[in-house]
Amino acid sequence: MEVTAVEPAVEATEQAVLEQLLAERAVRTVFQPLIALDSGQVLGFEALSRGPAGSVLERPELLLAAARRGRRLRNVDLACRAAALQAARSAGLATPYRLFINAEPGALGGWRPSVAHEQLPLIVVLELTERALTSQPAQLLQTVARVRALGWGVALDDVGADPASLALLPLVQPDVIKLDLALVQKRPSAHIAAVVNAVHAEAERSGTVVLAEGIETAEHLRTARAFGATVGQGWYFGRPGPLPSPLPAFGAAGPLPVMARRAGTDDPSPFDLAATQRPARDATSGCSSRSASSSKRRPTPPATARSCSPRSRTPPSSPPSPAAATPVWPDPARSSPPSARGWPPSRYPACAAPSSARGTPYSGSGTSLCLARTSPPAWSPVTSATPGRT
């Protein structure tokens, strides 16, 4: 990051305060709550570092800028993390709350927390700035590997500030994507739409949690929800300050999910993603055995929903005549997929409407499948295929 020059007298004063801060370990830590937007419950806290109260380095951006000019960024970064972990430990912060702490990727080479901090009774999420994806990609990926080895989570901060880094999100596989506050506070634009679409794609692919920063008004909250954020942070919910004492009882439906990565890969399976939201259940042996014996006695028509209960079984209906058949895509009378206006969802009450009915382009393979019809399909590829196509 570029180092900003200042007047020699100002720099001398700042460096003197900085050296005193490091010698006396005078970094202060304040905490800001992270809120579940659906329930308003606290999911965790972000630790924010401050310089000595009343000093020229009290504000965090001035503290880090002075550290870069004095080539003491690594020392200050380490002091900030140590102070944050110690403050959380002293306040008794524990699972299921999550603790978010910030870090500069360029100052993390060879770093690992102390034994006492590794044994904290809660999951720590390390925040890395998105700009490091393009400026220091190798260091950032090495940091991510070390952090995951500790069992910590990874959050990518200020997402959207640098559009070039959006394509590199799959390399990091963050547990949390923190939208840059400008996305929530500025007027909608094509740039904001492109960032939100890229974040949604990554969240759907990997199960990443989307967190909106900078929520200061009710309008910002509505915008964050419209962007698909499920967690929020900002002055609208609470300003940075000391942790409450005693800590309130955890009231959310569940903790903020931090994916436990499998050995050899950072990409969780669909079963891993589902397990973070609800417990897995085993199928009952009776239902499984009856389904297996039924499939041996007679073939089950494809795309027909059946229940395990014998009383609810009904014999398959006879296939309709070709004249009464209702074609489903591909339709000989159409040369493009069915639109939202032409799709009759009432015919298939258990089917979800296609993507075009939800306002997104149709991207199917040319065949519409529904596994929850109440009767066998009323068409066949032979009778409904478009002439000249198979």
Instruction: Return the SS3 of 68.
Output: helix
The residue length of the chain stands at 390
Tens-place pLDDT, residues 208-265: 999 999 999 999 999 999 999 999 999 999 999 999 888 888 989 889 988 765 444 4
First-residue to last-residue Cα distance in the chain = 58
229: which residues sit within 8 A by CB, 6+ positions away? Answer: 37, 179, 210, 211, 212
Domains of the chain: 13-275 (3.20.20.450)
Residue 21 and residue 57 in contact, taking contact as beta carbons nearer than 8 Å? yes
pLDDT at 277: 58
pTM, entire model: 0.66
| DSSP class per residue in 185-246 | HSPP-HHHHHHHHHHHHHHHHH-PEEEE----SHHHHHHHHHTT-SEE-STTT--SBPPPSS
d(CA 233, CA 45): 9
pLDDT in tens, 48-104: 999 999 999 999 999 999 998 999 999 999 999 989 999 999 999 999 999 999 987
Mean pLDDT lowest among 80-89, 295-304, 328-337? 328-337
Report whether pLDDT(293) > 90. Answer: no
What is the Cα 158 distance to its own chain's centre? 14
Q: Once rounded to an integer, what is the mean pLDDT over residues 138-143?
A: 80
Question: Which residues, 6+ apart, have CB-to-CB distance to 82 below 8 Å?
Answer: 25, 114, 117
Tell me the pLDDT tens digit for each residue of 105-128.
Answer: 777 766 776 766 667 788 999 998
Percent of all residues in the chain with a pLDDT value above 70, rounded to a whole number = 63
pLDDT at 134 > cutoff 60: yes
∠ CA 54-56-60, nearest 5°, is 95
What confidence category does residue 193 fall into, taking pLDDT thresholds of 50, 70 and 90?
Answer: very high
Helix%, strand%, coil% for the chain, nearest 5: 40, 15, 50
pLDDT reported for residue 63 = 93
Please state, in angstroms and rounded to a whole number, the distance separating the CA atoms of residues 233 and 31: 11
pLDDT at 147: 84
pLDDT digits (tens, 9 = 90+) for 19-59: 999 999 999 999 999 999 999 999 999 999 999 999 999 99
Pair of tokens at residue 292: 């297996």
> Would strands 28-36 and 231-232 be described as parallel, antiparallel, or unpaired?
antiparallel
Report the chain's mean pLDDT, rounded to a whole number: 74
Q: Which two tokens mark 225?
A: 């929800």
Phi and psi dihedrals of 139, rounded to 5?
-65, -40
Distance CA 220, CA 218 (A): 5
Give the separation between CA 114 and CA 13, rounded to whole angstroms: 32
Report CA 134 to chain centroid distance, whole Å.
Answer: 20
Tokens 């041996």 -> residue: 296
CA angle 180, 182, 188 (to 5 degrees): 115
- Transcribe 246-268 into DSSP letters: SPPPP-SSSPPP---PPTT-S--
pLDDT band at 368 (very low <50, low <70, confident <90, very high): very low
Instruction: Determine the residue type at 124.
Output: V
Cα dihedral 8, 14, 16, 19 sign: negative
Q: Convert 207-220 into a string of H (helix), E (strand) and C (coil).
A: CCEEEECCCCCHHH
Q: Torsion-angle region of residue 154: left (phi > 0), alpha (psi -120 to 50) or beta?
A: beta
**The pLDDT of residue 349:** 41
